[in-house]
Amino acid sequence: MPAPPPPAAADNTSTAENGTAGQGRVGRDDGHRYVLHLPVTVTTEDQALRFAYTLARSLALVPGVEVAGATVSAEDAQHVRRWVFCDRIMPDRRRCRARADHDGPCDPDR
């Protein structure tokens, strides 16, 4: 007897036939959003900040990635987060993309 198909919950496809067209697409503004959590463990806060900065900047062109919202935390205090980028909101509602605690004026295009 052939093996049963994988459970429907494991199917993350989006088709018009199954009535889920468009679900899960990045950028869709239907009120449903999901946040990706990707744990990465390093030994110092400086390493965490540098890695998060590099990773966030490398994903800057991906729709739906809020680069300026990147934070890091200690493994045993994940509720206490430190901003990777400056958290100031600019007049055009974008965040400053300079590193946190930067010198000089804020700039959303840095």
User: Is residue 106 one of the residues assigned to a domain?
Assistant: yes
| Res 28: pLDDT | 56
Residue 1 inside a domain? The answer is no
Q: What is the pTM (predicted TM-score) of this model?
A: 0.61
pLDDT reading at 17 higher than 70: no
For residue 84, tell me if it sits in a domain.
Answer: yes
Which DSSP state fits 30?
S
Are 24 and 12 in contact by the 8 Å Cβ rule? The answer is yes
The yes-or-no verdict on residue 20 having pLDDT over 60 is: no
Higher pLDDT, 29 or 17: 29
Q: Do the domain assignments include residue 3?
A: no
Look at residue 50 and tell me whether its pLDDT is greater than 80: yes
Q: How far apart are CA 8 and CA 107, in angstroms?
A: 46
* Among the listed residues 36, 41, 7, the one whose alpha carbon sits nearest the alpha carbon of residue 24: 36
Q: Is residue 54 part of a domain?
A: yes
Domain annotation covers residue 65:
yes
Residue 78: in which H helix or E strand, if any? Answer: strand 77-83
Domain count, the chain: 1
Which CA distances in Å does 82 have to 52, 71, 76? Answer: 11, 5, 14
What range defines the domain where residue 93 resides? 35-110
pLDDT at 15 over 90: no
